C-alpha cells in the first residue's frame, strides 16, 4: 500500500475541524441542559398538591420485619392530606355551577380540612368560612384566621343537634345564597340602586358575608363524594405506582372516610389480594361496625349517642355514623387504637426517625404495626402520614395537657405495642 501523503491543505482542514469541535464542546458545557419533564415548575399552588413522597419508616420496618411505608401527605402546601380533598371539592363545585366564581366555601371541620380549604380557595378566587368546635387545638383556628378565613368557634355537640358545627356550616352556605339572591333582586329598582331608592344601608360589619357575596357552597366533606374521588383518582394510584404494585396491605383511620375508602377501593380493584384495614380511635363506632356489624358499645345502642361522640385526644378521626364516603371503602378488618398508643408512637417516631407527626398520623402508624403483627414479616404495608405535629402543640404535644389524662409518654421502645 502506498504511503498516504499529508498535504498542507489536509492539515489546515483538520485544524479547522478540531477548532470548530472545541468551540461546540465549550458552548455545550456552558449551556444548561433542559429540565426533565417531571422537574418542570408546577402550575401554581394547586399544581403542588399531591404526588407526595412514599418513604420507608425505618424504625417500624426494622422492628416488625415488614416494609412499612408512609405517604408524606404533610408535605402538601396546606400541610395535610386534606389539600387533595379541598381541590377536588372546589373544582367540582365550580364546574357544576354549585359554587359561583368568587363565592364563599363553608365547612364544619375540626381543623385540617378547613385549613386546606382556606389555603386552596384563594387560588380559585373564592373565600372560606369555617365553623370549628371550640375544643379543637387553638393553633388551628389561628392558622385559619391568618389564611384569611372567617372562623366561628362553637361548642361541641352531637351531629343530631342543629348547632353541631357541621350543621351550622351548612346553614351559613344557605344564608350566603339567600343574601346573594336578595342582593340580585334588590340591587336595582328602575335603574337605581337600593340605597338610592329608600336610603337602605347595609352594615357589613354586622353581617357574616359581604353584601356583594355571589353565594355560598357547603363543602360537606363527610358526604360529598368528591372527597372519595380525590383519593380514588389520586392517592390510591400514586401508592400503586410508587410501590410498583408491590403492596400487601393498606391501613388508615377514618374521619370522613374519604382517604381509607378511595385508597382501599382503588388498590383492591388493582389487586384483590391487597388487604385493607381500619385503625379506629377510642369513642368511635367504626371498629364495632366492621368487626361486629353493629355500631354500638356496651354502654349504648347504635345511633343513640347524644353527647360529644369522641372520647379521644386525636383530632380529625373517629366517628359514630356511616358517611357516604366511608361506605365506599373496601375493608378486610379493623383494629382499635388507644390515645396512649398514639402518644407513645408519636414520640417514638420523633426520636428514632425524625418524624414529627400529628395525632392521626401517629394512630395510622399504630395501625401499621398492628397489621404487621397480624399478617407477619416479609410484607409491604402502606399508611398515611396525614399531617405534622405543628398543629398539635397545645394538646397532643403539651405535657401538662397529657398529664391530666394520664397520657404522659413513658415507653423506651415499642413495648406499648408488644414489640420487643
**Cα(158)–Cα(77) distance, integer angstroms:** 32
**For the chain, counts of helices (H) and of strands (E):** 15, 12
What pLDDT does 141 receive?
85
What pLDDT does 297 receive?
59
What pLDDT does 199 receive?
47
The domain ranges of the chain are 46-75+234-300+309-417, 100-183+208-214
Domain 46-75+234-300+309-417 identical in fold to domain 100-183+208-214? yes
What pLDDT does 395 receive?
92
Q: And the C-alpha cell for 327?
A: 361506605
What pLDDT does 182 receive?
84
Q: Torsion-angle region of residue 186: left (phi > 0), alpha (psi -120 to 50) or beta?
A: alpha
What pLDDT does 244 receive?
98
What pLDDT does 230 receive?
98
Give all strands (DSSP E) within 104-202, no chain letters: 104-108, 127-133, 150-154, 188-189, 192-193
**In CATH, what number does 46-75+234-300+309-417 get?**
3.40.50.1100
What pLDDT does 145 receive?
93
What pLDDT does 138 receive?
84
What pLDDT does 32 receive?
42
What pLDDT does 303 receive?
47
Contact present, 231 and 258 (Cβ < 8 Å)? yes
Q: What angle do CA 302, 308, 314 make, to 5 degrees?
A: 105
Residues forming beta bridges with residue 69, ordered by sequence position: 56, 382
What pLDDT does 351 receive?
98
**Cα(86)–Cα(176) distance, integer angstroms:** 20
What pLDDT does 4 receive?
47
User: Which whole-number Å values give the CA distances from 3 to 6, 73, 221, in the listed order?
Assistant: 9, 73, 86
Point out the residues of the chain with pLDDT beneath 50. Answer: 1, 4, 6, 11, 14, 16, 21, 23-37, 194, 196-206, 302-310
pTM here is: 0.84
Q: What angle do CA 19, 20, 26 make, to 5 degrees?
A: 90
Give all strands (DSSP E) within 88-226, no chain letters: 104-108, 127-133, 150-154, 188-189, 192-193, 216-218
The class level of CATH for 100-183+208-214 reads alpha beta
Amino acid at each position: 500500500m502506498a504511503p498516504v501523503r499529508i498535504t498542507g491543505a489536509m492539515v489546515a482542514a483538520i485544524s479547522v475541524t478540531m477548532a470548530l469541535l472545541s468551540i461546540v464542546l465549550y458552548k455545550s458545557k456552558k449551556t444548561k441542559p433542559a429540565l426533565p419533564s417531571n422537574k418542570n415548575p408546577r402550575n401554581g399552588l394547586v399544581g403542588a398538591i399531591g404526588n407526595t413522597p412514599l418513604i420507608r419508616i425505618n424504625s417500624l420496618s426494622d422492628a416488625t420485619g415488614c416494609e412499612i411505608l408512609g405517604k408524606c401527605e404533610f408535605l402538601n402546601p396546606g400541610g395535610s392530606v386534606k389539600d387533595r380533598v379541598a381541590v377536588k371539592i372546589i373544582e367540582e363545585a365550580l364546574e357544576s355551577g354549585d359554587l359561583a366564581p368568587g363565592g364563599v366555601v363553608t365547612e364544619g371541620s375540626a381543623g385540617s380540612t378547613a385549613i386546606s380549604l382556606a389555603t386552596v380557595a384563594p387560588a380559585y378566587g373564592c373565600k372560606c368560612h369555617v365553623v370549628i368546635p371550640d375544643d379543637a387545638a387553638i393553633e388551628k383556628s389561628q392558622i385559619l384566621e391568618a389564611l384569611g378565613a372567617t372562623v366561628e368557634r362553637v361548642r361541641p355537640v352531637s351531629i343530631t343537634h342543629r348547632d353541631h358545627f357541621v350543621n351550622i356550616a351548612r346553614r351559613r352556605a344557605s344564608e350566603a345564597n339567600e343574601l346573594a339572591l336578595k342582593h340580585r333582586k334588590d340591587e336595582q329598582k328602575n335603574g337605581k340602586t337600593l340605597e338610592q331608592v329608600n336610603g337602605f344601608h347595609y352594615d357589613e360589619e354586622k353581617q357574616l358575608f359581604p353584601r356583594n357575596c355571589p353565594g355560598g357552597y357547603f363543602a360537606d366533606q363527610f358526604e360529598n363524594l368528591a372527597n372519595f374521588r380525590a383519593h380514588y383518582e389520586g392517592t390510591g394510584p400514586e401508592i400503586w405506582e410508587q410501590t410498583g404494585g408491590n403492596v400487601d396491605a393498606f391501613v388508615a383511620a377514618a374521619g370522613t372516610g374519604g382517604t381509607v375508602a378511595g385508597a382501599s377501593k382503588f388498590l383492591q380493584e388493582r389487586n384483590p389480594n391487597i388487604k385493607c384495614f381500619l385503625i379506629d380511635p377510642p369513642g368511635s363506632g367504626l371498629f364495632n361496625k366492621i368487626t361486629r356489624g353493629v355500631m354500638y358499645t356496651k354502654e349504648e345502642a347504635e345511633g343513640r349517642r347524644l353527647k360529644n361522640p369522641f372520647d379521644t385526644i386525636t383530632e380529625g378521626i373517629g366517628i359514630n355514623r356511616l358517611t357516604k364516603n366511608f361506605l365506599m371503602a373496601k375493608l378486610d378488618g379493623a383494629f382499635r387504637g388507644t390515645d396512649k398508643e398514639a402518644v407513645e408512637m408519636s414520640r417514638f417516631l420523633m426520636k428514632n426517625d425524625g418524624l414529627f407527626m400529628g395525632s392521626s398520623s401517629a394512630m395510622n402508624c399504630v395501625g401499621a404495626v398492628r397489621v404487621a403483627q397480624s399478617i407477619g414479616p416479609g410484607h409491604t404495608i402502606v399508611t398515611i402520614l396525614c399531617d405534622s405535629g405543628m398543629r398539635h402543640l397545645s394538646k397532643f404535644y403539651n405535657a401538662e395537657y397529657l398529664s391530666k389524662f394520664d397520657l404522659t409518654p413513658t415507653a423506651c421502645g415499642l413495648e406499648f405495642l408488644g414489640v420487643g
